[in-house]
Amino acid sequence: MSRNKGRVKAKVQRHQNALEAQQHLSSVISDVSMPMVARRNAARHLVKTSSRNRLPLPVSQRHWICRGCTVLLVPGTTARVRIRAGQRTTTCLECGRVRRLGGGPKSHRGSSDD
């Protein structure tokens, strides 16, 4: 077996381990019966694991982790969520970072009479 084959196998194994770790941490974050401290630590470790292995955050967790301070965003506790004119605005209460999701008002879709 050549040296490169061993490196490729190791790389694939690291990638698989990172994906398994992401799945486990996502399940910890989603489990509301877990203590809040454990869920916060899982969110922090999820961001760290994803960035180290160049993996995107899981879609289910992407919107509920602050990009500024990597804290778990829980509406009413660590985040303020407002919906206005079709746009969801999530504000992190730890660092104050604002994230806007959605297209906003649909006024640009009106009929054009030009």
State residue 105's pLDDT score: 65
Percent of the chain clearing pLDDT 70 (strictly above): 88
Query: Can you tell me whether residue 106 is helix, strand or coil?
Result: coil
Q: Which residues are CB-neighbours of 42 under 8 A, at least 6 positions away?
A: 25, 28, 29, 34, 72
Angle between helices 3-30 and 36-52 (to 10 degrees): 150
Cβ-based neighbour number of residue 75 at 10 Å: 10
pLDDT band at 7 (very low <50, low <70, confident <90, very high): confident
Mean pLDDT along residues 17-42:
93
Q: Which residues are CB-neighbours of 99 under 8 A, at least 6 positions away?
A: 63, 66, 67, 89, 90, 91, 92
State residue 89's pLDDT score: 93
The answer to pTM > 0.85 is no
Phi–psi pair at 19, nearest 5 degrees: -65, -40
